[in-house]
Amino acid sequence: MRSGPSRPVIIAVDGRSGAGKTTVALELAALLRRHRTVSLFHLEDIYPGWDGLAEGVERYVSTVLAPLAQGRTAHWTAWDWASGDWGPADDAGSRTTAAADVVLVEGVGAAHAAARALVDVVVWVEAPAPARRRRALERDGETYAPFWDRWAAQEDELFAGGDVAAAADIVVDGSRGVAGAPERVLSALAGLPALEPLLAPELARRRGLEFAAVRVAAYPPAAALFAALYGGSTDAVWLDSSTADQTGAGADPAGRARFSIMADASGSFGRTATHADGTTTVADGEVTARIRGHFFRWLDTVWGRKAVRAPDHYPGDFTLGWLGWLGYELKGETGGAAARDAAAAAGATPPGPNTPPGPTPPPTAALLFAGRAVVVDHQERCLFLLTLAEANHPASGQEAADWARGARDAVAALAETDDAPVAPLPAPVFVLRDGESRYKAMIAASRTEIREGNSYEVCLTTQLEAHTPGRLDAWDVYRALRHRSPAPFAAFLRMGATAVCSTSPERFLRIDAAGLMRAEPIKGTRRRDADPVADAALKADLAASLKDRAENVMIVDLLRNDLSHNAVPGTVRVPRLCEIESYATVHQLVSTIEAQLAPGSSRAEALAAAFPAGSMTGAPKISTMAILDSLEAGPRGIYSGGIGYFSLNAALDLSVTIRTLVLQDTDDGGTHLSLGVGGAITADSDDDAEWQEIQAKAYGVLSTLGADFPG
């Protein structure tokens, strides 16, 4: 935002005729006037007749916008539509627009390219041409009908010079009218970092929230519960502690699998946020806001301050908030390269001819905001229904009560229900981004970098990809995966046309409401064997492996450093080092690092300091990420990032996105699948052992699908 001692914040509300921008501007002005002075200027007052759009916009920029942008009152003359001439030139015909706290300028061309440098925020209102024409005629009468095409042609010419919609900060979909849009536009404005000081009263109101957690003495089958409540949701998340669901919470000595969380983006609080190409896009009903800049900066504005407090009877850390994924490419904000093109820039070999064509990559990050959710307490074998309401807002409280009542009814209907069996899945044929010879060549290159002192450990990865000609049901895939490979940080996410099926055993980072930070990296893996004797031998081999222990200790040291940046001095500790945890398909070597967040520290910055997980990069992190960019043949995408939640009590809990299948619907009616795998390379890594390790890590997912590791 441009600054000045007395200049107004200028908000341009633009769009083609009949879209609904006048209604949006008028009602938005009324909302803004609750806490500040507002001036409103309509461009139609300065258009010189039915053929004067371009001239009117030019006069608007020079006589209205330019002085306002300097903090001066604008003096202008109105067009008299009845006489078809300008108003009188004397004082009676002169108009003014004061430089108030906020100036709303509304009309076709309000954010035209010539005006854009002088405005702070652009709101674009759009609707299909037939709807716009109908509304314009209903508003102005049939006398406007002869001029519709004439005016529309001028709009086409005006906007040919630049796409205002693409440059807009906020877009309003007026296809079904704009009756509910102004409140959502105000909320979107409050989410723009540049407007935080101006909209402090609205932000304070947003934090006036009432959180409730109602205990329900029921423990229905988890998959059936998710299907009943969220099976039809376009955007939904299930953070699924499936080890507890499969074997009981008592089998979770580390205490990581007590709770599962189910939520979607429905209700008045619900919205979604995606980040790609340097812009975070927040969709709230018919209003979409674009916040340009770093993702972690945006996250800091919407999360990290304690907005609610959990009641004493509720034992969970999650008190509603944001849930979803953070992709590996966010490393571009934390010291790494913005790596969608990093591999190409560094000369890495592109994917081979056998790699199936994929759809548009999913967003770098995708989150939904849940204003209501179900938490399953596996230890107490009960549920908690979580709801959010605006304080002193009866309609909001009623909405929460209605949802809770419906959720109770759905739970009651599941009392005698079992999880439905999963039908046999078609076996996709996977190809490997890097075949055996190339992967081993990357191992050799990694060892060279280590010998030259550029890294101590390189966490090398590759991806398996497949395409099915028919649509593969991601829900069926996930249910099969959680049955075959239960994990404490399993997750199912459905975000539009992308689904994520994760059976991750690894916690990336947890920060609880009191500021205790905990990371639990995994380094060292052995595939399990059905023969108990052979299985015990594999476990013993892992326990005795100096190489695997060295890998783990190096990452522990890296994470101690990551957490120390935002920790109280002297609080970093390692309560658990290189302990073996056994899962359905693998044995793994796990450590725990803890530290206390320093008072006043930004939680989003603490997360950014540790992102991406050191167990997925190697050490030292920055130089090793550059090595990886030069070796790996393409971006990792969702794989190697994090999945979890950002709670309204300022807690977060993220897994490392491993053992994770990503499914995307494709335009040909099929499904694209991708599965990332990798391993840590050290100076004494053995090529064949590393090649076997990535097969072991892929086994749980591939065997569930009936697929083979590509030969």
Q: Report residue 661: phi and psi, to 5°.
A: -100, 130
3-state helix, strand, coil in the chain (%, to 5): 35, 30, 35
Determine whether 590 is exposed, middle or buried from the number of CB atoms within 10 Å of its CB (0-12, 13-18, 19+). buried
CA distance 168 to 121: 8
Report the candidate in 683, 676, 560, 678 with the shortest Cα–Cα distance to residue 617.
678
**What pLDDT is recorded for position 523?**
85
Q: DSSP string spanning 280-297?
A: EEEEETTEEEEEES-HHH
Most distant pair of Cα atoms in the chain: their distance: 101
Q: Residue 349 — very low, low, confident or very high, per pLDDT cuts 50/70/90?
A: very low
Residue 294 in tokens = 């770093």
Three-state DSSP class for 429? coil
Average pLDDT score over the chain: 91
Q: Residue 1 — very low, low, confident or very high, per pLDDT cuts 50/70/90?
A: very low
CATH topology of domain 209-346+362-515+597-705: Anthranilate synthase (3.60.120)
Torsion-angle region of 339 (φ positive above 0: left; ψ -120 to 50: alpha; else: beta): alpha
Place of tokens 């890294």: 455
Sign of CA dihedral 263, 265, 271, 274: positive
Percent of the chain with pLDDT over 70: 93
Q: In this structure, how many other beta carbons lie within 10 angstroms of the beta carbon of residue 350?
A: 11
- 699, amino acid identity: Y
pLDDT tens by residue, 247-290: 544 445 556 889 999 999 999 999 999 999 999 999 999 999 99
Q: Does residue 298 have a pLDDT over 50?
A: yes
pLDDT tens by residue, 588-642: 899 999 999 999 999 999 999 999 999 999 999 999 999 999 999 999 999 999 9
CA distance 255 to 241: 11
CA distance 301 to 193: 7
The answer to whether the beta carbons of residues 109 and 56 sit under 8 Å apart is yes
pTM higher than the cut 0.75? yes
CA distance 22 to 184: 16
Residue 375 in tokens = 């938490």
CA distance 160 to 153: 11
Q: For the chain, give every residue range classified as CATH 3.60.120.10.
A: 209-346+362-515+597-705
Catalytic residues: 506, 523
β-pairing, 671-681 with 660-665? antiparallel
Residue 328 in tokens = 């590996």
Q: 626-655 in b/e burial notation, b at 16+ Cβ within 10 A?
A: bbbbbbbbbbbbbbbbbbbbbbbbbbbbbb
Q: Report residue 193: phi and psi, to 5°.
A: -50, -35
CA distance 195 to 294: 16
Q: For the chain, give every residue range classified as CATH 3.40.50.300.
A: 9-204
**What pLDDT is recorded for position 88?**
67
**Cis amide prior to 486 (ω within 30 degrees):** no
CA distance 650 to 41: 41
The answer to whether the beta carbons of residues 230 and 424 sit under 8 Å apart is no
The answer to whether the beta carbons of residues 181 and 172 sit under 8 Å apart is yes
Q: How does DSSP classify residue 92? A: G
Q: Which residues pair with 81 in a beta bridge?
A: none
| CA-atom Rg of the chain in angstroms | 28
pLDDT tens by residue, 460-485: 999 999 999 999 999 999 999 999 89
CA distance 599 to 437: 51
CATH 3.40.50.300 fits domain 9-204: yes
